[in-house]
Amino acid sequence: MKGIGKILSYLKGYKKYAVLNVFGNTLSILFGVFSISMLIPFLFVLFPSKDSLDKQIIFTSKPVFHFSGTWLSDISKYYMQILSNEYGIQYVLILLCVCFVLIMLFKNAFRYLAAYNMATIRNGVIKDLRNEIYDKILILPLSYYSAERKGDIMARMTNDLTEIEWSVMQSLEMITVNPLNILVIIVTLIFLSPQLTLLAIFLLPVTGFLIAKVGGTLRKS
């Protein structure tokens, strides 16, 4: 842990890029959730109810907001109903496809922004480590090079730093991405259906136990 903490101390000079990385990941996750929510009006257009086939008005007024998936479904049906009655069902379907493409475009654009800034952090930290090792090598006495093998010194400057780059630095991105992802998904699930979310959380330890059991058996084999 002490070594990891020392490596993390090199991030102080890259706070701006770290903030941009978190910002990009957050918006990418949010647009990913929006892309999933687009399925509600999309399915409503593809598989309309019997009332909408007869072009009857289901909602006489705009649904009042309440924190649930029912409201999201109702407000989607409300606007789809208005647009389909005014412009036709084909126009609504094209509009939904365009919105879905735009949402996915923004999702991938912000994901690229996050990856771009993480690459700057990763390469910057490795550059700082290489410079520090190089400065250290220059001041070491000649007796050190007589006692140590040259291959070990070269491995410290090349292979070991590459391992840090692809293990520790990539883990840093997962530390920021995974908690955000879990938080947004849990909030979305609670919004859609609190009962199913509680059931999924209740079954999660059981699933984890079974996976650990099967994984242990496979490792022994």
Instruction: Print pLDDT tens along the chain (221 aa).
Output: 566 677 777 778 888 888 888 899 889 988 888 877 777 777 776 776 555 444 444 556 677 776 666 677 677 777 777 777 788 778 878 888 888 889 899 999 999 999 898 888 888 888 888 888 889 888 888 888 888 787 888 888 888 888 877 776 677 777 778 888 888 888 888 877 788 888 888 888 888 888 888 888 888 87
- Token pair in block for residue 194: 């609190």
pLDDT of residue 110: 93
| pTM exceeding the 0.75 threshold for the entire prediction | no
DSSP 16-71: HHHHHHHHHHHHHHHHHHHHHHTHHHHHHHHS--HHHHTT--S-SSPPPP-SSHHH
Rounded CA separation 180/111 (Å): 13
pLDDT of residue 109: 95
pLDDT of residue 59: 59
Per-residue model confidence as pLDDT tens digits over 145-194: 888 787 888 888 888 888 877 776 677 777 778 888 888 888 888 877 78
Spatial neighbors of 28 by CB under 8 A, at least 6 apart, are 107, 108, 110, 111, 114
pLDDT of residue 112: 94
pLDDT of residue 57: 45
Give the angle 10-14-20 at the CA atoms, nearest 5°: 140
